[in-house]
Amino acid sequence: MTRNSIVFDNVSYNFGKKEIFKNLSFEVPAGQTVGIMGPSGTGKTTLLRLMGGQIQPDNGTILVEGKDINKIKRAELFELRKCLGMLFQSGALFSDLTVFENVAFPLKEHTRLNGEMIRYLVLIKLNSVGLRGAAHLFPRELSGGMQRRVALARAMALDPKLIMYDEPFTGLDPIALGVISNLIKDVGSVYECTNVIVSHDIEETARISNLLYVLSEGEIIGQGSPQDLKKDDSPRLKQFLNGLPDGPVPFHYPAPEYLDSLIGVKNTKRTIIKRDD
Protein backbone atom coordinates (compact mmCIF):
# COMPACT_ATOMS: atom_id res chain seq x y z
CA MET A 1 0.00 0.00 0.00
CA THR A 2 1.36 3.43 -0.93
CA ARG A 3 2.22 5.67 1.99
CA ASN A 4 1.18 9.30 1.62
CA SER A 5 3.36 12.18 2.75
CA ILE A 6 0.50 14.64 2.58
CA VAL A 7 -3.25 14.09 2.67
CA PHE A 8 -5.79 16.87 2.16
CA ASP A 9 -9.26 15.75 3.19
CA ASN A 10 -12.18 18.08 2.37
CA VAL A 11 -10.15 21.19 3.11
CA SER A 12 -11.86 24.56 2.82
CA TYR A 13 -10.08 27.86 3.25
CA ASN A 14 -11.33 31.43 2.94
CA PHE A 15 -9.25 34.58 2.80
CA GLY A 16 -11.56 37.26 4.17
CA LYS A 17 -14.74 36.83 2.17
CA LYS A 18 -12.99 35.18 -0.75
CA GLU A 19 -13.27 31.43 -0.94
CA ILE A 20 -9.85 30.02 -1.88
CA PHE A 21 -10.52 26.27 -1.51
CA LYS A 22 -13.76 24.39 -1.11
CA ASN A 23 -13.67 20.75 0.01
CA LEU A 24 -10.29 20.16 -1.56
CA SER A 25 -9.06 16.56 -1.31
CA PHE A 26 -5.87 15.06 -2.69
CA GLU A 27 -2.82 13.01 -1.66
CA VAL A 28 0.90 13.36 -2.19
CA PRO A 29 2.48 9.87 -2.24
CA ALA A 30 5.72 9.51 -0.30
CA GLY A 31 8.94 9.57 -2.31
CA GLN A 32 7.27 11.05 -5.39
CA THR A 33 7.76 14.38 -7.13
CA VAL A 34 4.36 16.02 -7.34
CA GLY A 35 3.71 19.16 -9.35
CA ILE A 36 0.86 21.52 -8.49
CA MET A 37 0.05 23.91 -11.29
CA GLY A 38 -2.61 26.48 -11.95
CA PRO A 39 -3.25 30.05 -13.00
CA SER A 40 -2.05 33.01 -10.88
CA GLY A 41 -4.15 33.76 -7.83
CA THR A 42 -5.59 30.28 -7.63
CA GLY A 43 -4.07 29.65 -4.19
CA LYS A 44 -0.99 27.55 -4.93
CA THR A 45 1.21 29.35 -2.39
CA THR A 46 -1.65 29.24 0.12
CA LEU A 47 -1.74 25.49 -0.40
CA LEU A 48 1.95 25.23 0.58
CA ARG A 49 1.35 27.40 3.63
CA LEU A 50 -1.49 25.08 4.66
CA MET A 51 0.83 22.08 4.22
CA GLY A 52 3.47 23.75 6.41
CA GLY A 53 0.93 24.58 9.14
CA GLN A 54 1.56 28.31 8.77
CA ILE A 55 -2.14 28.92 8.31
CA GLN A 56 -5.11 26.84 9.40
CA PRO A 57 -7.96 25.72 7.16
CA ASP A 58 -11.55 26.66 8.02
CA ASN A 59 -12.63 23.04 7.58
CA GLY A 60 -11.11 19.68 6.78
CA THR A 61 -8.02 17.74 7.79
CA ILE A 62 -4.42 18.01 6.60
CA LEU A 63 -2.11 15.12 7.40
CA VAL A 64 1.62 15.67 6.94
CA GLU A 65 3.81 12.61 7.48
CA GLY A 66 0.84 11.02 9.23
CA LYS A 67 0.23 13.88 11.66
CA ASP A 68 -2.78 16.19 11.68
CA ILE A 69 -0.85 19.42 11.33
CA ASN A 70 -3.60 21.57 12.81
CA LYS A 71 -4.21 19.43 15.89
CA ILE A 72 -0.67 18.83 17.09
CA LYS A 73 0.89 21.09 19.75
CA ARG A 74 3.12 24.00 18.74
CA ALA A 75 6.24 22.19 19.99
CA GLU A 76 5.30 19.08 17.97
CA LEU A 77 4.70 21.24 14.91
CA PHE A 78 8.21 22.68 15.17
CA GLU A 79 9.57 19.16 15.67
CA LEU A 80 7.76 17.99 12.53
CA ARG A 81 9.10 20.94 10.55
CA LYS A 82 12.65 19.74 11.20
CA CYS A 83 11.99 17.03 8.61
CA LEU A 84 10.36 19.44 6.15
CA GLY A 85 12.06 21.87 3.81
CA MET A 86 10.50 24.82 2.05
CA LEU A 87 11.72 27.03 -0.73
CA PHE A 88 9.91 30.36 -0.58
CA GLN A 89 9.03 32.27 -3.72
CA SER A 90 11.09 35.24 -2.51
CA GLY A 91 13.96 33.09 -1.23
CA ALA A 92 13.40 34.52 2.29
CA LEU A 93 17.09 34.35 3.18
CA PHE A 94 18.19 35.87 6.49
CA SER A 95 19.50 39.23 5.36
CA ASP A 96 22.00 39.65 8.23
CA LEU A 97 23.68 36.30 7.59
CA THR A 98 26.06 35.40 4.78
CA VAL A 99 25.22 32.73 2.21
CA PHE A 100 27.29 30.22 4.20
CA GLU A 101 25.58 31.11 7.48
CA ASN A 102 22.15 30.89 5.86
CA VAL A 103 22.76 27.32 4.72
CA ALA A 104 24.46 26.43 8.00
CA PHE A 105 21.57 27.82 10.06
CA PRO A 106 19.34 24.67 10.10
CA LEU A 107 22.38 22.45 10.68
CA LYS A 108 23.54 24.51 13.65
CA GLU A 109 20.03 24.65 15.10
CA HIS A 110 19.05 21.01 14.75
CA THR A 111 22.22 18.94 14.79
CA ARG A 112 25.17 18.48 17.10
CA LEU A 113 27.69 18.35 14.28
CA ASN A 114 31.00 20.07 14.86
CA GLY A 115 32.02 23.17 12.94
CA GLU A 116 34.20 21.31 10.45
CA MET A 117 31.44 18.85 9.56
CA ILE A 118 28.94 21.69 9.14
CA ARG A 119 31.42 23.43 6.85
CA TYR A 120 31.71 20.32 4.65
CA LEU A 121 27.95 19.90 4.44
CA VAL A 122 27.32 23.57 3.65
CA LEU A 123 29.96 23.56 0.90
CA ILE A 124 28.47 20.36 -0.59
CA LYS A 125 24.98 21.91 -0.63
CA LEU A 126 26.27 25.19 -2.06
CA ASN A 127 28.28 23.34 -4.69
CA SER A 128 25.15 21.48 -5.80
CA VAL A 129 23.47 24.82 -6.60
CA GLY A 130 26.65 26.27 -8.13
CA LEU A 131 27.26 28.90 -5.46
CA ARG A 132 30.17 27.53 -3.43
CA GLY A 133 32.17 30.58 -4.53
CA ALA A 134 29.51 32.93 -3.15
CA ALA A 135 29.62 31.50 0.39
CA HIS A 136 31.07 34.70 1.87
CA LEU A 137 28.57 37.05 0.23
CA PHE A 138 25.45 38.51 1.81
CA PRO A 139 22.04 37.93 0.19
CA ARG A 140 21.88 41.60 -0.85
CA GLU A 141 24.96 41.03 -3.02
CA LEU A 142 23.24 38.28 -5.03
CA SER A 143 20.73 38.43 -7.87
CA GLY A 144 17.18 37.20 -7.29
CA GLY A 145 17.87 33.92 -9.07
CA MET A 146 21.04 33.32 -7.06
CA GLN A 147 19.20 34.04 -3.81
CA ARG A 148 16.67 31.38 -4.72
CA ARG A 149 19.45 28.89 -5.39
CA VAL A 150 20.90 29.59 -1.94
CA ALA A 151 17.42 29.18 -0.46
CA LEU A 152 17.19 25.83 -2.25
CA ALA A 153 20.50 24.75 -0.71
CA ARG A 154 19.19 25.81 2.72
CA ALA A 155 15.90 23.91 2.20
CA MET A 156 17.93 20.77 1.42
CA ALA A 157 20.46 21.26 4.23
CA LEU A 158 18.95 18.73 6.61
CA ASP A 159 18.07 16.24 3.85
CA PRO A 160 14.37 16.47 4.77
CA LYS A 161 11.71 13.85 4.04
CA LEU A 162 9.52 16.38 2.29
CA ILE A 163 10.50 19.53 0.40
CA MET A 164 7.98 22.11 -0.79
CA TYR A 165 9.06 24.40 -3.60
CA ASP A 166 7.20 27.63 -4.33
CA GLU A 167 7.96 28.57 -7.93
CA PRO A 168 11.49 27.08 -7.96
CA PHE A 169 12.10 27.87 -11.64
CA THR A 170 11.27 31.59 -11.57
CA GLY A 171 14.15 33.96 -12.33
CA LEU A 172 16.62 31.25 -13.34
CA ASP A 173 18.71 31.42 -16.51
CA PRO A 174 18.43 28.38 -18.83
CA ILE A 175 21.60 26.73 -17.47
CA ALA A 176 20.55 27.20 -13.83
CA LEU A 177 17.03 26.05 -14.72
CA GLY A 178 18.34 22.76 -16.11
CA VAL A 179 20.70 22.19 -13.18
CA ILE A 180 18.11 23.02 -10.52
CA SER A 181 15.32 20.94 -12.03
CA ASN A 182 17.68 17.95 -12.31
CA LEU A 183 18.80 18.56 -8.72
CA ILE A 184 15.19 18.48 -7.49
CA LYS A 185 14.59 15.28 -9.44
CA ASP A 186 17.79 13.68 -8.09
CA VAL A 187 17.01 14.64 -4.48
CA GLY A 188 13.66 12.89 -4.91
CA SER A 189 15.08 9.71 -6.42
CA VAL A 190 18.35 9.36 -4.47
CA TYR A 191 17.15 10.32 -0.99
CA GLU A 192 13.56 9.06 -1.50
CA CYS A 193 12.44 12.53 -0.57
CA THR A 194 8.93 13.74 -1.42
CA ASN A 195 8.95 16.87 -3.57
CA VAL A 196 5.94 19.16 -3.89
CA ILE A 197 6.50 21.73 -6.63
CA VAL A 198 4.19 24.65 -7.12
CA SER A 199 4.96 26.24 -10.46
CA HIS A 200 3.69 27.97 -13.56
CA ASP A 201 6.36 26.33 -15.66
CA ILE A 202 4.31 23.54 -17.23
CA GLU A 203 7.10 22.05 -19.33
CA GLU A 204 9.76 21.89 -16.60
CA THR A 205 7.35 20.77 -13.87
CA ALA A 206 5.90 18.04 -16.10
CA ARG A 207 9.41 16.88 -17.01
CA ILE A 208 10.45 16.06 -13.45
CA SER A 209 7.09 15.19 -11.82
CA ASN A 210 5.59 11.74 -11.39
CA LEU A 211 2.18 13.17 -10.62
CA LEU A 212 0.54 16.48 -11.50
CA TYR A 213 -2.41 18.33 -10.03
CA VAL A 214 -3.92 21.32 -11.83
CA LEU A 215 -5.81 23.79 -9.66
CA SER A 216 -8.28 26.40 -10.77
CA GLU A 217 -10.83 28.42 -8.81
CA GLY A 218 -10.23 26.47 -5.61
CA GLU A 219 -10.61 22.98 -7.03
CA ILE A 220 -8.58 20.36 -8.84
CA ILE A 221 -9.44 20.38 -12.52
CA GLY A 222 -6.99 17.70 -13.55
CA GLN A 223 -4.71 15.10 -12.03
CA GLY A 224 -2.51 12.26 -13.13
CA SER A 225 0.83 11.62 -14.74
CA PRO A 226 2.08 14.20 -17.27
CA GLN A 227 1.15 11.76 -20.08
CA ASP A 228 -2.38 11.31 -18.68
CA LEU A 229 -2.93 15.05 -18.49
CA LYS A 230 -1.86 15.55 -22.10
CA LYS A 231 -4.54 13.07 -23.15
CA ASP A 232 -7.25 14.63 -20.99
CA ASP A 233 -9.99 16.33 -23.02
CA SER A 234 -11.35 18.55 -20.26
CA PRO A 235 -11.76 22.08 -21.74
CA ARG A 236 -10.44 23.78 -18.57
CA LEU A 237 -7.34 21.62 -18.51
CA LYS A 238 -6.71 22.01 -22.22
CA GLN A 239 -7.01 25.79 -21.93
CA PHE A 240 -4.47 25.95 -19.10
CA LEU A 241 -1.98 23.51 -20.60
CA ASN A 242 -2.11 25.21 -24.01
CA GLY A 243 -2.06 28.74 -22.55
CA LEU A 244 -5.23 29.90 -24.30
CA PRO A 245 -6.69 33.27 -23.17
CA ASP A 246 -10.33 32.35 -23.88
CA GLY A 247 -12.09 29.46 -22.24
CA PRO A 248 -13.74 28.32 -19.02
CA VAL A 249 -10.73 29.30 -16.86
CA PRO A 250 -11.05 33.07 -16.30
CA PHE A 251 -8.03 35.25 -17.09
CA HIS A 252 -9.58 38.30 -15.36
CA TYR A 253 -10.00 38.78 -11.63
CA PRO A 254 -13.75 39.04 -10.85
CA ALA A 255 -14.89 42.50 -11.98
CA PRO A 256 -17.97 44.30 -13.38
CA GLU A 257 -18.45 44.53 -17.11
CA TYR A 258 -15.53 46.29 -18.81
CA LEU A 259 -17.79 48.83 -20.51
CA ASP A 260 -19.58 49.60 -17.24
CA SER A 261 -16.24 50.31 -15.57
CA LEU A 262 -15.16 52.58 -18.40
CA ILE A 263 -18.33 54.67 -18.58
CA GLY A 264 -18.81 54.66 -14.81
CA VAL A 265 -22.17 53.06 -14.18
CA LYS A 266 -23.57 54.38 -10.89
CA ASN A 267 -24.74 52.16 -8.05
CA THR A 268 -22.12 49.56 -8.87
CA LYS A 269 -19.98 48.89 -5.86
CA ARG A 270 -17.26 47.31 -7.92
CA THR A 271 -16.95 50.18 -10.41
CA ILE A 272 -13.24 50.79 -10.68
CA ILE A 273 -12.96 53.83 -12.97
CA LYS A 274 -15.55 56.58 -12.58
CA ARG A 275 -16.29 59.13 -15.25
CA ASP A 276 -15.39 62.72 -14.31
CA ASP A 277 -18.79 64.38 -14.82
Residues of this chain that bind another protein (CB under 8 A): 52, 54, 74, 78-82, 84-86, 88, 90, 92-95, 105-106, 109-110, 151, 154
Residue among 96 and 173 whose Cβ is closer to another protein: 96
Any bridge partners for residue 18, and if so which? Answer: 15
Residue among 86 and 229 whose Cβ is closer to another protein: 86
Residue among 94 and 251 whose Cβ is closer to another protein: 94
Smallest gap from Cβ 82 to another protein, in A, equals: 4
Please count the other Cβ atoms lying within 10 Å of the Cβ belonging to residue 106: 18
Smallest gap from Cβ 75 to another protein, in A, equals: 9
Residue among 52 and 188 whose Cβ is closer to another protein: 52
Residue among 46 and 216 whose Cβ is closer to another protein: 46
Q: How far is CA 144 from CA 68, 85, 199, in A?
A: 35, 20, 17
Smallest gap from Cβ 131 to another protein, in A, equals: 18
Smallest gap from Cβ 147 to another protein, in A, equals: 11
Q: Sheet harboring 33-37: ordered strands across?
A: 84-87, 162-166, 194-198, 33-37, 211-216, 219-224
Any bridge partners for residue 15, and if so which? Answer: 18
Smallest gap from Cβ 120 to another protein, in A, equals: 20
Residue among 44 and 81 whose Cβ is closer to another protein: 81
Smallest gap from Cβ 62 to another protein, in A, equals: 15
Smallest gap from Cβ 55 to another protein, in A, equals: 10
Q: What does residue 101 show for φ and ψ, rounded to 5 degrees?
A: -65, -35
